[in-house]
Structure 1
Amino acid sequence: MAFADPHLQIPDRDLGIAQETLLAAFRGKRQSMALQHYPPCHHPEKVMGVAPHSDGFGLTLLLQVNDTPGLQVSKDGRWRPVRPLPGAFVINVGEILVVLTNSYYKSVFHRVVVDNDKDQVTVVVLQDACIAGVVKPLPELGEPRYHATNRSEYYKSQLTALRRQGEKFVDTP
């Protein structure tokens, strides 16, 4: 299945584990929501709406309320716009989901740029995930590629990676 942007693809098969196993990692976990407004900026080359990053939570659901482009993803060393579709959600895999799925799902490096003439409005819902307070691969998915860490240590490491700009937590040693 392809997204609105032909450069972005999602796998067409599942993880091969019981659906309940993955759902349990999300059930009862923290969920937060943000409303974001980026006003027009007559010097967009001098500011950044949101600096390049990879989401740290399990999943991010993003609704681009108006038709002003601003979300961009990094692919093959280039920034590519994600064009808003009326009523459609953009769903980002967060780094916790990368760890949970033992790298089967991948997070995307993205940023938000501002527009010269029009404002941008987005609604963002962030969904946390973990297994009994620990961020680790699901044991059903084979030899773990990541070491287990408690959720608070994970978030400290995630913030450190964000400060380095250009790094994802899952790519750091």
Structure 2
Amino acid sequence: MDSITKNLESSLQVPSVQELALQRLDKVPPRYIRYSDSDDIISTVSSDPSLRVPLIDMAMLVNAATQDEELQKLHLACKDWGVFQVLNHGVSDTSLKNMQNQVQGFFDLPFEKKKQWAQRPGNLEGYGQAFVTSEEQKLDWNDMIFLKSFPIQNRKLDLWPKNPPRFRETLERYSEDMREATISIVKFITMALGLQDTQISESFREGLYDIRMNCYPPCPEPERVVGIVPHADNSGITLLFDCADFPGLQFLKDGKWVNVEPIDGAIVVNIGHIIEVMTNGIYKAPEHRAVVNKWKERLSIVTFCYPGSSADIRPAKELIGEGNPPIYKNMTSGEYFSNFFNRKLDESFIDSLRV
């Protein structure tokens, strides 16, 4: 394993942002500052209705009378945005609320208690920060706990908090619910493309599921930091449950950052690079980031969903032909992840997958 791989598969220890926020600072420490006073990074979003993240109703996708129309909406959401909010996704309000309460309970623990589940050297899992690879690197304004959930043998249960007391069983149930929702959502995404092939959605039944729980504490200078730096996901799809009642997640659309307004009971779904490859670039993984609030803490629970390790990652055969050559390589799951962890840090990951 070379040094680049080690860098990307582990993270250096850095101060807890929650602990910094408790100090009631007037100024952000220099290592978190990414923008000068004159930069307007938190651009206001136009009230133009075309700049609202699309909303998809799964109840209309399963109903034969409304399915065609809703599939067309889903196709346009994936093609034009790469992100949508989904209602009636099958995950109960109880499951969402229970998970939110456990995550809140964990981040409300004193720092010394949370540290019991801290990341270890050479590993991204646990409580800390992701992808901090040098002492000079600018830092995001968030703390997180990152855990592998499926397959079960991937779980490092010694890093699954025992406090709050019901955290583990709640996360286990939530993971199962998210897996079922993923299989359904991917099935409809393939239908929206006109594919009859159920292999893609079924490959998510044996898939990899990683869960990242984020805490974005209040920040004295929110316009000078980011909660999470702009990026696209390397997943198949990503499901995000926003625990706040104010926007903090933004997607880049036509050169503008667009707020995702939280909708009660909705889950945010975005396309990852694996689906971008499988659709031969018809659906693209969108750039997104998190911004922070001066007065309020925000929590989010993010599930990264990947097909099983036996699935090949390649453009679907039905989507390539004489006038439509493959844009991306054929890869095994192992080759895909090897590409991700061994790429040059300044290289676009998706560009490294092109033919």
Question: What is the distance in 2 between the residues matched to 1:63 and 1:164?
Answer: 30
Question: What is the distance in 2 between the residues matched to 1:159 and 1:114?
Answer: 28
Query: Cα deviation per residue 1:46-98 (whole Å; 9 max; x = unaligned)?
Result: 32111100111001110111113110111121211111112111001111011
Displacement of 1:6 after TM fit? 3.8
Alignment correspondent of 1:147? 329
Structure with the larger helix share: 2
Query: Is the aligned partner of 1:164 residue 2:346?
Result: yes
Alignment correspondent of 1:84? 262
Asked if the contact 2:236–2:275 (Cα under 8 Å) also holds between the matched residues in 1, the reply is yes
Q: Identity over aligned residues, as a percent?
A: 34
Question: What is the distance in 2 between the residues matched to 1:160 and 1:52?
Answer: 20
Cα distance change, pair 25–162 in 1 and its aligned pair in 2 (3 A): farther
With a CA cutoff of 8 Å and minimum separation of 6, indicate the structure with the bigger relative contact order.
1
Question: What is the distance in 2 between the residues matched to 1:14 and 1:29?
Answer: 21
SS at match of 1:135: coil
SS at match of 1:91: strand
Which of 72, 75, 79 is residue 11 of structure 1 equivalent to?
A: 75
Amino acid at match of 2:304: L
Cα distance change, pair 6–105 in 1 and its aligned pair in 2 (3 A): same
SS at match of 1:11: helix
Alignment correspondent of 2:207? 29
Alignment correspondent of 1:127? 305
Question: What is the distance in 1 between the residues matched to 2:249 and 2:229?
Answer: 11
What is the TM-score normalised by the length of structure 2? 0.43
Question: What is the distance in 2 between the residues matched to 1:19 and 1:119?
Answer: 43
Structure 1 stretches of 4+ moved >4 Å: 159-162
Ranges in structure 2 where 5+ consecutive residues have no aligned partner: 1-48, 55-73, 77-190
Amino acid at match of 1:125: T
Question: What is the distance in 2 between the residues matched to 1:20 and 1:116?
Answer: 46
Alignment correspondent of 2:198? 20
Range moving further from structure 2, 102-111 or 18-27: 18-27
Question: What is the distance in 1 between the residues matched to 2:261 and 2:343?
Answer: 28
Asked if the contact 1:38–1:119 (Cα under 8 Å) also holds between the matched residues in 2, the reply is yes
What is the TM-score normalised by the length of structure 1? 0.83
Alignment correspondent of 1:106? 284
Question: What is the distance in 2 between the residues matched to 1:82 and 1:164?
Answer: 28
Amino acid at match of 2:235: F
Displacement of 1:155 after TM fit? 2.9
Displacement of 1:16 after TM fit? 1.8
Cα distance change, pair 161–74 in 1 and its aligned pair in 2 (3 A): farther
Query: Is the aligned partner of 1:63 residue 2:230?
Result: no
Root-mean-square deviation (CA, aligned residues, Å) is 2.5
Ranges in structure 1 where 5+ consecutive residues have no aligned partner: none
Which of 43, 59, 64 is residue 221 of structure 2 equivalent to?
A: 43
| Structure number with bigger Rg | 2
Displacement of 1:18 after TM fit? 1.7
